[in-house]
Amino acid sequence: MKQIFLNKKGGEEIITPYLFVVWVIIGVGIVAGALIFYSSQFDVRAKEAEILNLRVADCVKENFPVSSDFDIYGKCGLNKELIENSEMYYIRIKVDENKPLRYGVYVFETNCKLKGKGFPLCYEDVYYINKNNKIYNVEILTGSNQIGGRI
């Protein structure tokens, strides 16, 4: 049998540099994707304030009427040290025209109206509670300044 291709090389010296370039492009893409993914931050302030508001609202409905000696921590299962000392949360409960009950960082009530990255976000809702054929207007404002973290 006659060999048609005598002393022919497969062109490996031409293919090898391109192969390394492809490997470098793939490696750079993987590293860039990982850096973009792991450097993102999650801002959970708005959702956390909303969840806290709903939790407090459920508790107030179950334990209505609330008064100045209302133990929000014991009745609602909230962590007193976290709310009072972490400087990240605020809760205000106002029933009709009575004096509001306040817990946490009081200045959040004003700071929530300000826009910016360092300010807390708040969630305010009005609930109507029917007790003894009387309808009470309950306003609950909750705020959070816990920005979240990186993945």
Tell me the pLDDT tens digit for each residue of 61-118.
Answer: 998 888 888 888 998 899 999 998 888 999 999 998 889 999 998 898 889 888 877 8
Portion of the chain with pLDDT greater than 90, in percent: 44
pLDDT at 150 > cutoff 60: no
Is residue 21 in some structural domain?
A: no
**Alpha carbon distance 85, 79 (integer Å):** 10
Is residue 150 in some structural domain?
A: no
Is residue 86 in some structural domain?
A: yes
Is residue 103 in some structural domain?
A: yes
User: Domain range spanning residue 123?
Assistant: 45-144
The amino acid that residue 62 corresponds to is E
Query: Which residue has better confidence, 16 or 71?
Result: 71
Is residue 53 in some structural domain?
A: yes
Average pLDDT along the chain: 86
**Count of the separate structural domains present in the chain:** 1
Average pLDDT score over residue span 116-125:
89
Is residue 38 in some structural domain?
A: no
Is residue 120 in some structural domain?
A: yes
Say what the pLDDT of residue 91 is.
94
Is residue 78 in some structural domain?
A: yes
Contact (CB, 8 A) for 144 and 49: yes
Say what the pLDDT of residue 13 is.
61
List the 89-95 sheet strands across, edge first: 101-104, 89-95, 134-144, 121-131
